[in-house]
Amino acid sequence: MLFDPVGGTDDSDGHRSRQYGHQPRNSLRFRRRNGRSAAGVSPGDVDTVFLSHLHQNHVGWNLTQTGGSPTFPSARYVFHQADWEIFRTPKDQEIFGLTFWEETLAPLESHGVIDFLAGEHALTSEITAIPTPGHTPGSMSLAVVSSGERAYIMGDVFHGPAQVTEPEWVFSFDAEPVVAVQTRTGMLERSESENATLAICHHSGFGKVMRAEGRRYCLGI
């Protein structure tokens, strides 16, 4: 399973990755060598591509640079239907760019590889997709439970560790700011009570929610 195929095929110099807060080395262009990733996984090995939401910097490698076929030919592309219905409208295509829709999203439908979600859904015995709306109406995260440990892999619930301490801080691209704050606060309370590991897309590495002098922080592990 792959979580969010990031910036895309035209990110050869890493500009888009840096623009959206990613390190260029995390782009698939920088990670893949001879058709295989640093982890030894080829695109054909991936059976599920989970899209936390449909912003351009999270879906760029959905399709190949030439031919427009799915980059991961054996995979189902899984995401919340609410985002699809919003981003397919002319208004949102104008905001985010028509080519973005045509180059990274629309062909998935014609290839018949989309599985829409409408709410919480178990993807495997250990991985569950959970709604975390606010950044977009259809934003989702992954809850992972394995060997008695828990982790949450999140798209843009947080845009950096500062929002762990100040969850009421709103990112300019949050579509529903009030809902985003509610989601962020709820995920912090949930993660802290469960001692869960957090993976935040726009912040490298993994962390846990810790308290110091009554304030929450994300401590890297």
Kindly state whether residues 55 and 102 are assigned to the same domain: yes
Kindly state whether residues 100 and 179 are assigned to the same domain: no
Last residue of one domain, picked from the residues 86, 118, 150? 118
Kindly state whether residues 108 and 215 are assigned to the same domain: no
- Give the residue-averaged pLDDT of 61-71: 83
Kindly state whether residues 18 and 76 are assigned to the same domain: yes
- Give the residue-averaged pLDDT of 167-183: 94
| Pairing relationship of beta strands 76-80 and 114-117 according to DSSP bridges | parallel
Nearest Cα to Cα of residue 186 among 119, 144, 134:
134
Model pTM score? 0.84
**pLDDT above 70 as % of the chain:** 79
Number of domains in the chain: 2
Kindly state whether residues 99 and 137 are assigned to the same domain: no
- Give the residue-averaged pLDDT of 115-128: 97
**pLDDT above 90 as % of the chain:** 55
Kindly state whether residues 8 and 113 are assigned to the same domain: yes
Can you read off the two tokens belonging to residue 71?
């980059």
Kindly state whether residues 112 and 205 are assigned to the same domain: no
Last residue of one domain, picked from the residues 95, 118, 141? 118
d(CA 198, CA 195) in angstroms, rounded, equals 9
Kindly state whether residues 51 and 148 are assigned to the same domain: no
d(CA 142, CA 52) in angstroms, rounded, equals 8
Q: Is the pLDDT of residue 80 over 90?
A: yes
Kindly state whether residues 82 and 42 are assigned to the same domain: yes
Kindly state whether residues 114 and 129 are assigned to the same domain: no
> According to the model, what pLDDT value does residue 21 have?
46
Check residues 123 and 95 and name the one with the higher pLDDT.
123
> According to the model, what pLDDT value does residue 13 have?
46
Kindly state whether residues 12 and 74 are assigned to the same domain: yes
d(CA 137, CA 102) in angstroms, rounded, equals 21
Q: How many other CB atoms are there within 10 angstroms of residue 215's CB atom?
A: 10
Check residues 17 and 175 and name the one with the higher pLDDT.
175
Kindly state whether residues 80 and 64 are assigned to the same domain: yes
> According to the model, what pLDDT value does residue 22 have?
46
Q: Is the pLDDT of residue 30 over 60?
A: no
Question: Lowest mean pLDDT: which of 114-118, 131-135, 198-202?
Answer: 198-202
CATH code, 136: 3.60.15.10
Q: Provide the residue range defining the domain that includes 39.
A: 1-118
> According to the model, what pLDDT value does residue 23 have?
47
| Pairing relationship of beta strands 206-212 and 127-131 according to DSSP bridges | unpaired
> According to the model, what pLDDT value does residue 17 have?
47
Q: Is the pLDDT of residue 11 over 60?
A: no
Last residue of one domain, picked from the residues 72, 90, 118? 118
Instruction: Give phi and psi for 115, each to the nearest 5.
Output: -120, 110
